[in-house]
Amino acid sequence: MCDTCGCNITPGNEHLARRKNSQGQDAITVLKSLLSANDLEAAHNREHFDRHDVLALNLMSSPGSGKTLLLEATIEALKDEFRIAVIEGDLETENDAARIRAKGVPAVQITTGSACHLDAHMVHGALHHLNLDNVDILFIENVGNLVCPASFDLGQHRNITLLSVTEGDDKPAKYPVMFRAADLVLLTKTDLLPVLDDFDPARAEDCLRNLANPAPALRLSAKKKDGLAAWFDWLRGERTAQKDRVRAGQVLRPAVQPDGVRLHAVTDQTDGQRSAGPRHLFRGA
């Protein structure tokens, strides 16, 4: 997988891969160095967030689960309560960022080319286009993918994983790396349950619990505005908790999954010398 999808060499770290490989290092050594560099950059990002009293949330899911629609509904409901900003990650286009800007909040689009996840370097670049002094909650909408995003620390404080009822109730069992990383699971598009009677929400939650993950699991429909109150309350609680951590000098790190890191290390065969690696553009707030 990883030697063809471009997820190890990203637009944010490609320069590091070229430099490290020029020293004659093998592919696994280069990969470990890239992961270490990512963690250092993530810690730097988190320091920025904490210094500016920003709660950073990483939204992960497969494509089409409703991440952007959920953000639109959240902004509509909470824009007078919190100052919100969004970083959008997609392979191409700035469609999602344009939707967010239309709601009156700043959004930075990262286009990753062939990279199937965001990394800390890309997020750091996007932060240069945001004034964190004017942000209470930063949502990072990761690239649609149920594997790789869970393995890379971006500097966020919490991971939120979406599972839509159109996908199958066994997804937590089939993609354990992603769902083990979740601090909150949102079951989305529940308005479709009457016509998708083969999806059992209770079974989906059982699959989550079988991973020994006690994260809250909320059911909602952003389109119909059903079940959003619990989501908003969770956000309020996390925002208060972040302010308390900042005052106490405490740092919260996300549950980055070592299984995913090992997966990358085993499957990567790149020599770090791509002539035309993934590209990205930051289209600012």
Residue 116: per-residue pLDDT: 84
pLDDT at 271 over 50: no
More confident residue, 275 or 165: 165
The 3-state DSSP composition of the chain as helix, strand, coil percent (nearest 5) reads: 45, 15, 40
Residue 25: per-residue pLDDT: 55
- With tokens 């560099």, the residue in question is 37
**Mean pLDDT on 220-227:** 98
More confident residue, 174 or 254: 174
Q: Under CATH, which number does the domain 2-283 receive? A: 3.40.50.300
Distance from chain centroid for Cα 3: 22
Tokens coding 256: 């980055």
Question: Regarding beta strands 282-283 and 107-111, do their DSSP bridges make them parallel or antiparallel, or are they unpaired?
Answer: antiparallel
pLDDT at 115 over 90: no
Q: pLDDT tier at 268 (50, 70, 90 boundaries)?
A: very low
More confident residue, 93 or 261: 93
Q: pLDDT (tens digit, 9 = 90+) per residue, 123-173?
A: 999 999 999 999 999 999 999 999 889 989 999 999 999 999 999 999 999
Average pLDDT, the chain: 85
Distance CA 211, CA 209 (A): 5
DSSP 276: S
Q: Which amino acid is at 267?
A: T
Residue 1: per-residue pLDDT: 30
DSSP 226: B
Residue 10: per-residue pLDDT: 61
Q: Which residues contact 63 (CB under 8 A, 6 or more apart)?
A: 144, 145
Distance from chain centroid for Cα 62: 11
Cα dihedral sign, 109-114-116-119: negative
Domain spans of the chain, in order of start: 2-283
Structural contact between residues 121 and 13, judged by C-beta atoms closer than 8 angstroms? yes
- List Cα–Cα distances, 178 to 23, 166, 257, in angstroms: 34, 18, 8
DSSP 256: -
Q: pLDDT tier at 273 (50, 70, 90 boundaries)?
A: very low
Beta bridge partners of 137: 55, 84
pLDDT at 27 over 90: no
**Mean pLDDT on 96-112:** 95
**Mean pLDDT on 192-214:** 96
Residue 186: per-residue pLDDT: 98
Q: pLDDT (tens digit, 9 = 90+) per residue, 56-67?
A: 999 999 999 999
Residue 256: per-residue pLDDT: 76
Q: pLDDT tier at 55 (50, 70, 90 boundaries)?
A: very high
Q: Which amino acid is at 134?
A: N
Q: What are phi and psi of 54, to 5 degrees?
A: -110, 135
**What DSSP string runs through 72-86?**
HHHHHHHTTTS-EEE
- A 10 A CB-CB count for 136 gives 19
pLDDT at 40 over 80: yes
**What DSSP string runs through 103-124?**
TTS-EEEEE-TT-SS--HHHHH
- List Cα–Cα distances, 227 to 26, 51, 107, 237, in angstroms: 50, 33, 25, 17
**Mean pLDDT on 25-44:** 73
**Mean pLDDT on 119-123:** 94
Helix axes 14-21, 27-51, angle to 10 degrees: 140
pTM reported for the whole predicted model? 0.83
pLDDT at 26 over 70: no
**Mean pLDDT on 92-112:** 94
- With tokens 């963690």, the residue in question is 39
pLDDT at 7 over 80: no
Tokens coding 145: 């993918």
% of residues, the chain, pLDDT over 70: 78
Distance CA 194, CA 220 (A): 14
Residue 3: per-residue pLDDT: 41
Distance CA 14, CA 147 (A): 21
Q: pLDDT tier at 282 (50, 70, 90 boundaries)?
A: low
